[in-house]
Each structure stands twice: as structure tokens, then as C-alpha cells.
Amino acid sequence: MTPASKRFLPPEAIARIARLELRARAVVEGVLAGLHKSPYKGQSVEFLQHREYVRGDDLRRVDWKVWGRQDRLYIKEFEEETNLRLTLLVDGSASMDYRSGALSKYDYAATLAASLAWLALSHGDAVGCAVFDEKIRASVPARTKRSHLSSVVDVLETSRSNRPTAFGPVLRSLSETLPRRGMVVIISDLLGDREGVFQGMQFLRRRGHDLVLLHVMDEDELTFPFEGPTRFEGLELPEHIACNPRALREGYLAAIEEFLANARKRSAAARCDYSLIRTGEPVDAALVQFLSRRSSTAV
Amino acid sequence: MPTFDFFSLLWWGLPLAAAPILIHLINLLRHRKVQWAAMEFLLASQRKFRTRVLLKQILLLLLRIAAVLGIVLTLAQPRLRTALGQLLGGSRTAHVVLLDDSYSMSDLSAGGRIGESSAFDRGKLVVERICEELTAAEGRQELAVGRFSSLTGRKFDIERQTVTPQVVQMVRDELAGLVPSASDCGPREALAAAVEVLGEGTGAADVLWLVSDFRACDWKVADETAQLLRQLSDAGVELRLVDCAFGALGSTGSSADFGASNLSVERLEVVGGVPATGVLVPLEVAVRNNSQNVVRDVQVELREDGASRPGLRIPEIPAGSVAVQRFEARFPQAGSHLIDARVAADAVAVDNTRTAVIAVVDRVDVLVIDGDPRGGGRAADAFYLTAALAPGSGAPTGLRPRIEPPRAITTLDLMAFDCIWLLDVERLDPAEITALEGFARAGGGVVFFMGPRSRAEEINRTLYRDGEGLFPLPLAGPVDLLPEGKNQDPVPDVVVEEHPVVAVLSGQRNPLLDAVRIERFMAVDRSFDDSKEKMPGGVGVRRLLSLRTRAPLVVERPFGEGLVVAVLTTASPTWNNWARANPSWVVVMLEMESHLARVRRRAELLEVGDDFTVTLAARGDESEVDFLIPPDGTIVHQTAAVTPAGTLQATLRATLSAGAYQARWRRLDGSERERVVAVNVDPDEGRLERILREQLDRTLSGVKFQYDSAESLQPDANTFAGVSLVTPLLHALLCVLLLEQLLAYSASYHTTTKPWRYV
């Protein structure tokens, strides 16, 4: 761990905090100590910046003067004057139960989601949350009240299942039910219905949502460090394999690498902000990294 | 095929080869379980690498099995005995070990006193040591081991084969049960057998080990022995002579080094007499002192049919001398009787005992052919002769004279008699002569008495036949013995010559014989000089009695195996007065009968190693014979076979021990028959005098050999070429282990320092 990273709370420390809300608070307090600008962009009376038009942008936000002068379509972005609608979609499927350290992938994802909710609510933004597997198990609509955080936390803490994931129907359903455009943050390991994820993201994107994909992976899943005779039993799949892991490591890592590359590529295609987050990293560090990226790309 | 120094390790170690398989199977049951999310990637990897992983696992399993086998094989000390081994740098060496097992090797007196181990024990240790050295030697070693007694039949105890730990163990097992034989076998036969194996050149570096006690008696025929050794030496065979009798207590190896004390019962036999029931039979026992010192107060223990009888005491036997004692035995029953003579235990036990078998009959038939066709009554020759041979129940002689006319010669089975007496027979038919000659050739005794009916020309023509016939000498005709001159001192008519039959009458003038008057006798042809008449072999006419005129009166000549005696006067007091009330007549006739019958009555003398052959009657006996072997009466069954000569014989080959051997068989009428013979050791083998080293050098002049004592023998392992597989096997094992490690690492069978994690 570098000296800078020592500022962050290690997953082990977070794990010792039993309540998710307190975890989120601990994470956010650390984040806020070094972050003062809102990372969220939206419509506002105060001009923020121009950016090139991309397909799907609202034509009402095209700066026609610039078009008249330069014959190029630019979009005017303003500081949002109204609350941002942040929707947190947390994967609660069985595969998220894997843990190699103090936190399972779901624990990590929930902590991350609660922290984001805390930050958004503290900026007066509306935060909604849903936990899903093959369907949405629980959700709360977006609210701006600070007390809404407890509702979000309740959803995150109580809505677990051991079902496999089905992204497609969930995201399609969500795109139809979200009343306004906003930011949709998907926190998942993407194991399961991968094609459905990206199709669903296409739906959301067409609805004008700003998409963020936080891809949570356990360190073991990325490095496959196992040794000795091991029987692997699927958390979501019914298959099992009895093997010497190092014999399969090379092939596994190649498959994982291909999987991550595909996720990045498909995310970019869907104009989704993709971040790979390792559960071994401190949650606040992951949050700061994410927020920094968002700030640097904000219009 | 490789061989192993510690072959038994293989039995323990080879099953360990199954250990990797068992561990593999156990590990299959001991998989740690992990609940895994990213299963689809693992499945993909497995699909991709399934074949490779399986092959690696199988290869790894095989390597581990090979490693276990390699360790076990290395510990078992393998040696390559194939052509490959030779190719690898070794050379083949053939070792032939000849172990002297003659009974002199049982000598416990090495070093000048009686110890606990015999020369044969030391010889066995030498053979074991040679085997051990050969096992340790590099290269291919071949070994053949044979005892002298076995090699007389050209048979090695361990046939030539490559030395392996199994062979060494086999030699050890073989040696453990060996004891010196009772035979007198020398090195000659053994060397001849070795020549057959090594002499033709085997393409190997051959070594001959002669493990013996080097007794002088074994080297009597040193020329032949030396010739065989020279032949081997010329064939490039390395000669190693190992002396097992070289004193462990600092013996000098000189001829004076022979046994501390060894007495041999050299002879035990019937000496005359008639082996009939109730008759005293004279026997002699001879004891030789084979040591360097005078032995005093030697007790000879005698046993008769297993029962102890009064023994003999020999006051003193000078060094190297023989003492003879005579004793008599009377046997109340007919049959085979055993007499054993034994002296006290000494350095060599085998020659302390000797056995004699005496076939006793109720009466011995004597055939008397009376030439008087009318029978002569009390004045006839037959009367006086039978009166001498069978004087009556008051003086039993065991003889039963049977008086028959000449024609009985062809009608009777002459082999039923030991002696045939012909009394003044006028003439004999050719058939009768042929039968008589056949009888004599077969060992029978024939006595001719002359008389008025005897005709010199007829005898010369039919019986003498210029020396070819049965009669000992040519005759001139009957003549009177002229009386002495009146002025001369009285001289006996009969002069006693030097002969065992008349030995009792020899020496000082015998008044009984002096009283014998010869009036007429059959003169010998003047051209015949009995002193020059010698038969082949130096045996010729020998006088028993002569006349005062130096004319022969009683002569003897061997004929075939038997003896023929011619008494040139009458049996009755017709031409003399000898048979008339002169006791010397009886004495001489009985002695003559015993002398002439000695060949027929001579007990068959067999020595250890000889065959015991029984001749059966083809038409009267069954062909199945049981031989009872001493000392425990082990029965060996043999079926008689017809020999090329047409006789039916059963033979017990190569007797191995001393004692009384019995052959039993049935006649066709159901009755049982038996024959008992005594088999004794050769007493010469008990002469423990050893050949001097200088004599050995002289005997083996020009033959390159190495001479060692059993104690100082140190076979040099470096001289034996060969290849041990341990080093190449260790290298191979190292390679296998390295390969196994690499493959195991590659196949994920190795853990790293990073701890394994459970979910």
C-alpha cells in the first residue's frame, strides 16, 4: 500500500462496520475531505461548456449560433440547476456472494452504492436505488431528502437472493419506469447474462440516461491464485470442476482478460463510463478514483 | 537381465510403486471445495486444456511411479549381467571352484592339535568368500562350483552361470548342507572336469580355484594332475590354489605338519578258515598310525552284528606303521554277519571304523572226484581225503565233502563249490576239462592228486597242453623215490617250501612231517624248470612241498582267477604214508582247502564311490531290487537290467557312505534273497601327510599358479571386471525426479509460499 492509499479505509476496516449506513458515512467523509466540486453535470442557467453533438442529444440544447458560425453542431452544457436523479442499480445475484477478503462483492457494491447515495443526497440530488438479480428484488424511487438514505440502505441490506442474473429484462424494465433522465450507476460483476447488460444499457442510453458501470471483481477472480486439488462449485451455474487450479489458470486468465476487454469495449460502445473495481481496493479509494474520473470528464 | 545384491528388497519395495496411484486416488477424495462465481471461464479453460492436463497428469503419475521404482532398484543394488553390461565396460570372467571333499578334509587337526573346524569348513568359507567377492566385482562374473566327489561323475554342484545374489545365496544354501564325503577322490577327476569347462577357451578371463588340503596321497599321480593344471595354464586359465589344511595356528606347511593323531582301521577281513556255522573263523584287523608319533595302548572296539564283543588292545603302533591283530569269531547261525572294528575318535573320524561282512553257511560243500570207478572203500584216496576235510562231529570243520565220479563234473553246478578235488582220475572228457577250466578261471580251486591210474601223457595232452591248460606242469611219469644211502644222515622225504598253506609246518624241523615217507611220485618232465616258468604278471608255478631230491611234490599255479594245485603223489597211503595217522595230513589238507577257496570266499571289497552290483538269476529272480543304504537303512529301489553280456544286474551307483549295504530281492517262487556287502573308506586317504610346497613347486614346474592358505586368501575384487548399475541408475533417478518436479510445477501440483485461501 502506497502512503497515499493509507488515507483510505481498507476493506477490512470497512467490514468491521456492521451497518451499511455507517460504512457509507465513513467512506464519504473521507472522500469529502478532499473533494469539493460536484461531479454531476446537468441543465442549469449557468453555462458550463460546449461539447460536440452526439447522436441522441436533445436538439434543444444545440447551440445554433455556433452552428451558424462554424457549421458544426455543439451542445451547450450548463451547471445543473435542478437535482440530479441518480439511480443506483446493484447486482444482488448469487455470484456477488464470492469473497476472498473481508468484503464480498455484494458487500463492496452495497457500500459503494450507499456512499454514492450519501454523496448525492448531500448535494441535494435525488437518489433512487434498486437491487436486482433476474428481476428487481427491491427498489426505492429517487428522492432528495437526506433521510432518504436510510431507505436506500434498507434496500441494499435486505434485498438479497441466490438467483442468477438477468440484466436484459431488468434494465429494459428500468428504462421504461425511470420517469426522467438521470444518471444510472450499475454496480455488478457482470457474471451471467452479459449480453443483456449491454442491450439494457443501450435502452437506458436511448432514454438519455448517463450510464456508469462499476464492474466489481474479486481479486481472486482476476488472478486465480488457487493451488492444490480443488473442487470449484458454481455459485450461479450448476456445474462443478475438480482440478488442479494451476493447470487451468492460464486458460482462465485468458478468458477473464477477454471478458474484461469485451466489457470495456461494449461499455464504450454504449457510451457508458466503465470502471473496473477490485474488492481488494479500499472502497473510498475506488470512490475517489471514480469521482475524479467523473470530474475530469464533466462538461 | 540385471541382478540384484539385495533381491529381497524388491519384494518389499516394488509394491511401493502403487503409492503414487493411491495418493492420487486419495487426493481425488480430498479436494478442497470452493464456491466459485466465475465458473464459466473455468469451464472454458477446462474445455480448452482438458487433453493437455490429462496427459500431464498421466505422465506425472508415471514419472512418480518410475521414481519410486528407481529408488527401490537403486537400494537393491542392481548389476547388469547382459551383453549390454559387457558393452558398458565390464569383461566376463569365468570362475570354476573345485572343492575337495575327500574325507581327509574332515581333519580337525590343523595347526597341530584338534580344533573345532575342519579343513572342509575352511574350504566352505573360502568358497563363500570367493562368491561374495565376485558379487562385489565389476563386470560379468560366471561361476561353477563342484566338489571332488561330484566331479568324478563330471557333474558340478553349481553349473556354470552368471554370478548374481541369487546364485550366491544358492551356493551358500548348498554349502550349508555339505559335509566331507567318505570318498578318497583326488583332484585329478575334478581337474579333468574343469578342463572340459575351461580348457577349450571360453573367451573369458578364466580363473580356477582349487580348494583342497593338498595331501600327499592325493598327489601320488602328480604327473597326471600336473598335466591337467598345465593344460589349463596353457589355455590362459589363472590358477589359484587355496590350502585349507595350512595350519591356522602357525603351521609350517611341512610334511611334518600332518595330523596330530589319526589312526585308520586299514583292514578287517577273514583270513582263512571256513565260514560255516559253529566254526571258528579267523579274522585280522590292521590299524595304521598316520601320525608322526608313536601311539600306545590302542583299544580296538569290536562289534558283531551290532553287539559289542571283547575288543583288542594294541600295545603300541610306531609312527607310520601298521599293527595287525588276529581274532576269531564263531557264528551260530547261517547268513550275513557284520563285524565292525573301531578305534577311538581322533582328527579324522571317517577312517576309524571298518566293517566286514562274513557270509556264513551251515556247511560248505566240497566236490571230490574219485578216479576209482569201483570206489575204494576205506583204502581209497577219497576216504583219506574226506577224513581230513570232515573228520567228524568232534572237530567240526564246516566242510561237507561230496564224492562223485568224473562225469559229475558236467552234470553238477560247479559254482556251488569252492574247491574241486580230483583223485587219481585216469582221464577227463573235453567237456569235463572245459567245465573245470571254467570253474578255475572263475576263481575256484582245483586240486589234482596223482595215483596209479594217472597217465602222464594223457595229463600233458589234455590238461597241461603246453602250459595252456589247467594242469600246472608237464609230467614225465611215475617214479620211485630212491631210498637214502645208508651212510648218510636221515633226511626227511618232504621239504617244506615257503607258502602260506604249509607255513604252519615251516621253520624248525617238524617231527610230524619228518615222519612222512614218499615212496612213489609223478615225476616232472625234465625239460620243465618251475623256477623259470613264469606266467604273465610274474606269477608262475609255486612249490608248497618238495622232495628231498628237490623234485616238486606239491605245486600251485594260478589259472584265471582261481588256483590249481597238483599233488604229485597219492592221497591214500598207496605211494606214501602221509595220510596214515599223520596229523600234518589233516592240517595241510584243511589249509589247502581254505587257501584254494579264498578267492571264492573272499568277501566283495567295495570302497566308497564304488558301484554295488547284484547279479540276478534271469529265470529265477524277480528284477526289482531294494538297496538298503547305511547308516539309516534308506531304501533305494532299482530295477535290474540285462547287461550286454546277457546277465541280469541291478546296480547301486556310486556309494556315498561307509557301512554294510544290503540288497534284497525276491525269487520267482516268492522266497527272499539278500546280499550284504561292506563298503569302506580308502584307508590311504587317512594318511594326512601333505605335499610340501617345494614338492608342489617342483611338481607344477612351469605352471604359473598362486598359492594361498585359506586364512590369508584375499580375493582382489578389483581383478574381477564388471558393471554395477547403481551409478547410472542414480543419474536416471535424478533426471526422473527433476522431470517430475518440472512437470508437477507445470501441472500445478506444487504449492507456493502464498497461502491457499478458502472462501
Which of B33, B35, B42, B743 is most worth mutating to test chain A (most A CB atoms within 10 A of its CB)? B42
Which chain A residue has its CA at the smallest distance from B25's CA? Answer: A229
State how far the Cα of B553 lies from the Cα of B78, in Å rounded to an integer.
86
The shortest C-alpha distance from B745 to chain A (Å) reads 9
Task: Give the tens place of pLDDT for each residue, B629-660.
Answer: 988 888 999 999 988 888 899 999 888 888 99
Classify strands B445-449 and B419-423 as parallel, antiparallel or unpaired: parallel
Handedness of CA B455, B461, B463, B468 (dihedral sign): positive
The domains of chain A are located at: 4-38+83-294, 46-79
Handedness of CA B176, B177, B179, B183 (dihedral sign): negative
- DSSP letter at B510 equals P
State how far the Cα of B588 lies from the Cα of B586, in Å rounded to an integer.
6
Neighbouring C-alpha atoms within 13 Å toward the C-beta of B493: 19
- Which residues, numbered 50 to 109 in chain A, qualify as contacts with chain B under a Cβ-Cβ cut-off of 8 Å? 94-100, 105
State how far the Cα of B39 lies from the Cα of B386, in Å rounded to an integer.
129
How is residue B595 written as a grid cell? Answer: 587257501
Contacts of A95 in chain B (CB under 8 A): 37-38
- Whether residue A96 and residue B757 make contact (CB cut-off 8 A), yes or no, is no
Task: Give the pLDDT score at B508.
Answer: 63
The one-letter amino acid at B753: T
Task: Give the tens place of pLDDT for each residue, B733-751.
Answer: 899 999 988 887 776 666 5
The shortest C-alpha distance from B60 to chain A (Å) reads 13
Contacts of B48 in chain A (CB under 8 A): 251
Q: Which H or E element spans position B652? A: strand B648-652
Does residue B719 register a pLDDT over 50?
no
Residue A227 — pLDDT band, cuts 50, 70, 90? confident
- Whether residue A221 and residue B28 make contact (CB cut-off 8 A), yes or no, is no
State how far the Cα of B630 lies from the Cα of B639, in Å rounded to an integer.
20
- Whether residue A95 and residue B38 make contact (CB cut-off 8 A), yes or no, is yes
**Secondary structure (3-state) at A233:** strand
State how far the Cα of B571 lies from the Cα of B586, in Å rounded to an integer.
11
Classify strands B475-480 and B445-449 as parallel, antiparallel or unpaired: unpaired
Nearest to A230 among B34, B57, B752 (CB): B34
- DSSP letter at B540 equals B
Contact B362, B276 (CB under 8 A): yes
State how far the Cα of B504 lies from the Cα of B523, in Å rounded to an integer.
26
Residue A297 — pLDDT band, cuts 50, 70, 90? low
Which chain A residue has its CA at the smallest distance from B35's CA? Answer: A233
Q: How many pairs of residues across A and B have Cβ atoms under 8 Å apart? A: 120
How is residue B508 written as a grid cell? Answer: 624248525
- Whether residue A239 and residue B759 make contact (CB cut-off 8 A), yes or no, is no
- Whether residue A232 and residue B36 make contact (CB cut-off 8 A), yes or no, is yes
Does residue B268 register a pLDDT over 80?
yes
Nearest to A230 among B31, B38, B43 (CB): B31
Handedness of CA A276, A282, A283, A288 (dihedral sign): negative
User: How many percent of chain B have pLDDT more than 70?
Assistant: 87
Task: Give the tens place of pLDDT for each residue, B573-604.
Answer: 999 999 987 888 998 999 999 998 887 777 77
Count the neighbouring beta carbons within 10 Å of the beta carbon of residue B199. Answer: 19
**B566 or B600, which is more confident?**
B566
- Whether residue A242 and residue B28 make contact (CB cut-off 8 A), yes or no, is yes
Task: Give the pLDDT score at B454.
Answer: 93
Task: Give the pLDDT score at B461.
Answer: 94
Q: Which H or E element spans position B284? A: strand B280-289
Mean pLDDT over B84-98 rounds to: 62
B444, B390, B449: which is closest to B416 by C-alpha?
A: B444
Does residue A163 register a pLDDT over 60?
yes
Task: Give the tens place of pLDDT for each residue, B306-342.
Answer: 899 999 999 999 988 999 999 999 999 998 899 999 9
Task: Give the pLDDT score at A1.
Answer: 36
Task: Give the pLDDT score at B721.
Answer: 39
Task: Give the tens place of pLDDT for each residue, A170-190.
Answer: 888 887 787 777 888 999 998
Query: How many residues in total does chain B contain?
Result: 759
Q: What is the 3-state secondary structure (H, E, C) of B387-400?
A: HHHCCCCCCCCCEE
How is residue B96 written as a grid cell? Answer: 570354476
- Whether residue B750 and residue A227 make contact (CB cut-off 8 A), yes or no, is yes
- Whether residue A227 and residue B31 make contact (CB cut-off 8 A), yes or no, is no
The shortest C-alpha distance from B732 to chain A (Å) reads 27
Contacts of A228 in chain B (CB under 8 A): 32, 751, 756
Going from the C-alpha of A197 to that of each of A92, A270, B74, B245, the distances in angstroms are: 14, 10, 63, 104
State how far the Cα of B35 lies from the Cα of B21, in Å rounded to an integer.
28
- Whether residue B748 and residue A245 make contact (CB cut-off 8 A), yes or no, is yes
Contacts of B32 in chain A (CB under 8 A): 228-231
Peptide bond into A229 cis (omega under 30): no
Mean pLDDT over B390-405 rounds to: 86
Contacts of A222 in chain B (CB under 8 A): none
Which chain A residue has its CA at the smallest distance from B48's CA? Answer: A251
Q: Which residues of B touch A (CB under 8 A)?
A: 27-28, 30-46, 48-49, 53, 56-57, 747-752, 754, 756-757, 759
Q: Which H or E element spans position B655? A: none
Neighbouring C-alpha atoms within 13 Å toward the C-beta of A203: 18
Helices then strands (H, E): number in chain A? 10, 10
Task: Give the pLDDT score at B718.
Answer: 41
Q: What is the 3-state secondary structure (H, E, C) of B55-106?
A: HHHHHHHHHHHHHHHHHHHHHCCEEECCHHHHHCCCCCEEEEEEECCCHHHH
Using CA atoms in the order A31, A37, A41, A42, what is the torsion angle rounded to 10 degrees? 120
Rank A253-262, B153-162, B532-541 by mean pLDDT and report only the highest: A253-262
The DSSP result for B114-172, as a single string, is --SS-HHHHHHHHHHHHHHHHHHSSS-EEEEEEEHHHHTTT--SEEEEE--HHHHHHHH
The shortest C-alpha distance from A100 to chain B (Å) reads 6
Query: How many residues in total does chain A contain?
Result: 299
Count the neighbouring beta carbons within 10 Å of the beta carbon of residue B429. Answer: 13
Q: Which of A40-49, B284-293, B697-706 has the lowest mean pLDDT?
A: A40-49
Contact B6, B75 (CB under 8 A): yes
| Domains defined along chain B, listed by start | 2-77+726-746 (no CATH), 89-256+689-719 (3.40.50.410), 260-360 (2.60.40.10), 364-601 (3.40.50.880), 605-683 (2.60.40.10)
- Binning chain B into helix, strand and coil, the percentages to the nearest 5 are 30, 30, 40
The shortest C-alpha distance from B79 to chain A (Å) reads 40
Task: Give the pLDDT score at B748.
Answer: 60
State how far the Cα of B632 lies from the Cα of B659, in Å rounded to an integer.
10
State how far the Cα of B121 lies from the Cα of B123, in Å rounded to an integer.
5
Task: Give the pLDDT score at B17.
Answer: 84
A104, A297, A128: which is closest to A218 by C-alpha?
A: A104
Nearest to A225 among B32, B749, B754 (CB): B754
Task: Give the pLDDT score at A218.
Answer: 93
The shortest C-alpha distance from B174 to chain A (Å) reads 55
- Whether residue B37 and residue A98 make contact (CB cut-off 8 A), yes or no, is yes
Backbone dihedral angles phi then psi of residue A160, each to the nearest 5 degrees? -100, 150
State how far the Cα of A252 lies from the Cα of B38, in Å rounded to an integer.
9
Sort residue B572 into left (φ over 0), alpha (ψ -120 to 50) or beta: beta
Going from the C-alpha of B400 to that of each of B23, B380, B388, B390, the distances in angstroms are: 96, 18, 11, 6
State how far the Cα of B319 lies from the Cα of B406, in Å rounded to an integer.
55
B732, B560, B653, B38: which is closest to A221 by C-alpha?
A: B38
Nearest to A255 among B33, B36, B44 (CB): B44
Which of A103, A233, A236, A243 is most worth mutating to test chain B (most B CB atoms within 10 A of its CB)? A243
Which chain A residue has its CA at the smallest distance from B50's CA? Answer: A248
Which chain A residue has its CA at the smallest distance from B42's CA? Answer: A252
What is the rounded end-to-end Cα distance, in angstroms, of chain B? 55
Q: Give the long-range contacts of residues B171-178, CB within 8 A, separation 24 or more.
A: B171/B127, B171/B128, B171/B131, B171/B143, B171/B145, B172/B128, B172/B131, B174/B145, B175/B124, B175/B127, B175/B128, B178/B101, B178/B120, B178/B124, B178/B147
The DSSP result for B583-604, as a single string, is HHHHHHHHHHHHHHTHHHHPPP
**Secondary structure (3-state) at A93:** coil
In this structure, which CATH number among 3.40.50.1700, 3.40.50.410, 3.90.79.10, 3.40.50.300 belongs to the domain A4-38+83-294?
3.40.50.410
Contacts of B742 in chain A (CB under 8 A): none
Nearest to B30 among A229, A235, A249 (CB): A229
Contacts of B753 in chain A (CB under 8 A): none
Contacts of B42 in chain A (CB under 8 A): 232, 241, 248, 252
Angle at B284 between CA B278 and CA B289, to 5 degrees: 155
- Which residues, numbered 221 to 250 in chain A, qualify as contacts with chain B under a Cβ-Cβ cut-off of 8 Å? 221, 225-237, 239, 241-250
State how far the Cα of B131 lies from the Cα of B145, in Å rounded to an integer.
10
- Tell how far CA B563 is from the center of its chain: 29
Does residue B391 register a pLDDT over 70?
yes
The shortest C-alpha distance from A260 to chain B (Å) reads 12
